[in-house]
Copies of this chain bind each other. A is one copy, B any other.
Amino acid sequence: MAASEERGTAAERDNRQAIVLAAASEIVRNGVRGLRVEEVAAAAGVSPALLYYHFESRAGVVRAALEHASEQAPSTALRSAPAGGTGYEALEAALLGELSDDEDVRQAAIVWGEVSASAVFDPELRGAVRKVTEEWRAEVADAIRAGIADGSVREGVEPDTAADILISLVDGLLTRWLAGALDRDDAHRLLRRALERSIRRGD
């Protein structure tokens, strides 16, 4: 939570949250390029002036929606101590969970993919995409380290490199799945296979 947010009143935090949720919904419906600040403000029940007070710019609203989507992602479960099971199992469950028909997860994935795709055209979004991607990679790398420690991941696997490859693979599978070019079950099968081949300790 940012310092500026901590200082806000409860009403300010509610407004901020309502704006972020409205922005995410708008991105899921129409994409980043279809997002209009006035419509987001109206959907959140606030004035455009209040929206600009909280976020300064349209890009600031989009970045906040990306951070929200990132916090909603199943991989954040890796931040807390796993409830039993190995490091490998926790990682497999988290990454498979990113490709989920659960509506909240699917919407977060659409926001993530759409903001990443928009960053190609909008340099103002690139820092935020880089930041959430690096957080995701660090979570996955830590899970791989836990797996090496508990013997479920092969020794010799480089956690940062393996994490970078795995999150790129999940990103690519997500795009194909959301674009209707890959079934979810096939995406799961491919991801399971890649995990087995790349990091799972042999039986």
Contacts and interface: CB of A to CB of B under 8 A. Distances in A.
Contacts of A119: 178-181
A113 B187 CA distance: 18
Contact of A120 (B113, B120, B129, B197): B113
Contacts of A93: none
Interface string A159-171: 0010011011111
Interface in A109-124: 110, 113-114, 116-121, 123
A79 to B, nearest CB: 20
A193 interface: yes
Q: Contact size class for A?
A: 35 or more
Interface in A148-203: 161, 164-165, 167-173, 175-176, 178-182, 186, 189-190, 193-194, 197-198
Interface of A: 30-31, 33-34, 110, 113-114, 116-121, 123, 125-126, 129-130, 133-134, 161, 164-165, 167-173, 175-176, 178-182, 186, 189-190, 193-194, 197-198
Given A161-B189, A172-B173, 16 more contacts: A33-B33, A113-B117, A116-B175, A116-B176, A119-B178, A119-B179, A125-B179, A126-B179, A129-B181, A130-B179, A130-B180, A133-B182, A168-B176, A172-B172, A194-B198, A197-B198
29 contacts: A31-B120, A110-B120, A113-B120, A116-B175, A116-B176, A117-B117, A117-B179, A119-B178, A119-B180, A123-B180, A125-B179, A126-B179, A126-B181, A129-B179, A130-B181, A134-B181, A161-B190, A164-B186, A164-B190, A165-B193, A167-B172, A168-B172, A169-B169, A171-B171, A171-B175, A171-B176, A172-B173, A175-B175, A194-B198
